[in-house]
Amino acid sequence: MNEAVLGTTAFAMDPGEPDLEATLVARAQAREVAAFEALYRLHVGRIHALCRRLAGSQALAEDCTQEAFVQAWKALPHFRGDSAFGSWLHRIAVNVVLGHQRAALRRSAWLRDDGDHALDACAAPAERPDVALDLDRAIAELPPGARAVFVLYDIEGHQHEEIAALTGLAVGTCKAHLHRARRLLRARLTA
């Protein structure tokens, strides 16, 4: 249970409590910083975990989490409530991470034809094979495209069509990335 401050009153918040969240959203849309801070406290853990899984690095995850909330603050007056605030924020976070990854790929001078820019690093044997890789580390070492699709499909529960819309990839490409990610994870975790 999280605690949120609304005005001068502290409220115990349950993420499934839509009335309080709707009130916080309305007040934050009116540019009440305390209401947005309460929304931040309510959602930051989940958004950071999503960014961490997608980004593959703690530093980038922290930057993306912060940027997602900054973008949410800027776009909040335009939030219509067609979806839950958490879902809207989730999509912003995914777009932020994917935007960072696309920018990094554009800056990269070692592009390959298939678009898998980190495949060589992922396929390289571990320096110390006696050290077991945990799942988070193995996911972080996936190529960016495969990692994004794997996280969005297998961890976050999105369908291929949704992932295609979020990433700008074709549905078939999403399926290929998922297959590649699972194959690479299997190989890394059984090595």
Binning pLDDT at 50, 70 and 90, where does residue 137 land?
A: confident
Measured between alpha carbons, how far is 109 from 188 in angstroms, rounded to an integer? 27
| Residue 175: pLDDT over 50 | yes
Domains of the chain: 1-107 (1.10.1740.10), 112-191 (1.10.10.10)
Look at residue 168 and tell me whether its pLDDT is greater than 90. Answer: no
> How much is the mean pLDDT over the chain?
80
* DSSP-derived 3-state class of residue 117: coil
Residue 1's pLDDT is: 38
Task: Report in angstroms the alpha-carbon separations of 149 from 40, 61, 102, 132.
Answer: 26, 17, 14, 24
Name beta bridge partners: 9.
6
Q: What local confidence, expressed as pLDDT, does residue 41 receive?
A: 97
> So what's the pLDDT on residue 157?
87
Look up tokens 């959602």; give the residue: 43
Greater model confidence, 90 or 13: 90
Encode pLDDT of 17-33 as tens digits: 558 899 999 999 999 99
172 vs 103, more confident: 172
Please tell me the predicted confidence (pLDDT) of residue 130. Answer: 34
pLDDT tens digits for range 30-68: 999 999 999 999 999 999 999 999 998 899 999 999 999
